[in-house]
Amino acid sequence: YAQTRQQSLARDGVACAMLDEQALRAAEPALREDLRGAMIVPDDGVVYAPAVAAWLLGQPVKGRIATRLDANVERVTRTGVQLADGESIAAGAVLVANGFDAARLLPGLPLRPKKGHLLITDRYPGTVRHQILELGYIKSAHNASGTSVAFNVQPRPTGQLLIGSSRQFDTVDPAIDSAVLARMLARAAHFLPGLRDLNAIRAWTGFRPATNDGLPLIGPAGPFAAGLHPATWLAAGHEGLGVTTALATARLIAAQMSNGATPIDAAPYLPARCAPQEAAHG
């Protein structure tokens, strides 16, 4: 499977290579010794969401975009949006791009919360040199039901290790589930035995906005905005990839909103695919 994955990435122009057992040991000595090999993606990277958001907000837009922080939208109206403080803002179009909370603004939107746990350790520089994940992570990430865990560890610039991952459906309780956290850490220690000797300083949870088919909702809101602003658009449901696919999503939605040529086929992501049949044809 690893070789098939490597060949698929190579065909798409992604630099990657297979490592044998000896090369893997040299790259990541902390991994358990009986692993036979791995695939390395040299250009893979990790972004820190708050830093990305700050960078995007700091881009020069020559007065074309007015940013209002701490202005919570209460509802979408026929002419724009109404804020929580009662202020109404008229707009030529409304783009709903607020993750799982999009379902509050557009009732009936097929978004499900997918709960996840993360844990971060104290500082142990050099323990792990690359982001490492098991190939089974991809299967776990796309499960449509149940609870799953998979090995994923990221070395932070501080020397800390960020450890994941878990996925749970059908809960909106933000409390740490000790049983799931224990499963997740046991899976991580299965690959990195030395983790058992490290100190954890914090664990937390979050919710990913998931769709039934695993693809985001990018395009006109259609039947999900019935009775609201006629030009309501969606960019939501990216599960755990909202930050890393943000710029591509922006290009795709901007092209649709301006009736321009889309950089990729927009059809697989159109919200209308998720609408009930009677609504889609009504």
Task: Summarize pLDDT for 156-195 with one digit per residue, the tens.
Answer: 999 999 999 999 987 889 999 999 999 999 999 999 999 9
Question: CA 35, CA 120: separation in Å to the nearest integer?
Answer: 25
* 213-238 per-position pLDDT tens digit: 999 999 999 999 999 999 999 999 99
Is the dihedral angle over the CA atoms 7, 8, 10, 15 positive or is it negative? negative
Kindly provide the b/e burial profile for residues 105-133, where b requires at least 16 CB atoms within 10 angstroms of the residue's own CB. Answer: bbeebbbbbbbbbbbbbeebeebbeeebb
Q: Residue 217, exposed/middle/buried by CB under 10 A (0-12, 13-18, 19+)?
A: buried
Chain-centroid distance, C-alpha 97: 13
What is the reported pLDDT for 145? 66
Q: 55: which residues sit within 8 A by CB, 6+ positions away?
A: none
Q: In the chain, what are the domains?
A: 1-44 (no CATH), 60-94+215-280 (no CATH), 112-210 (3.30.9.10)
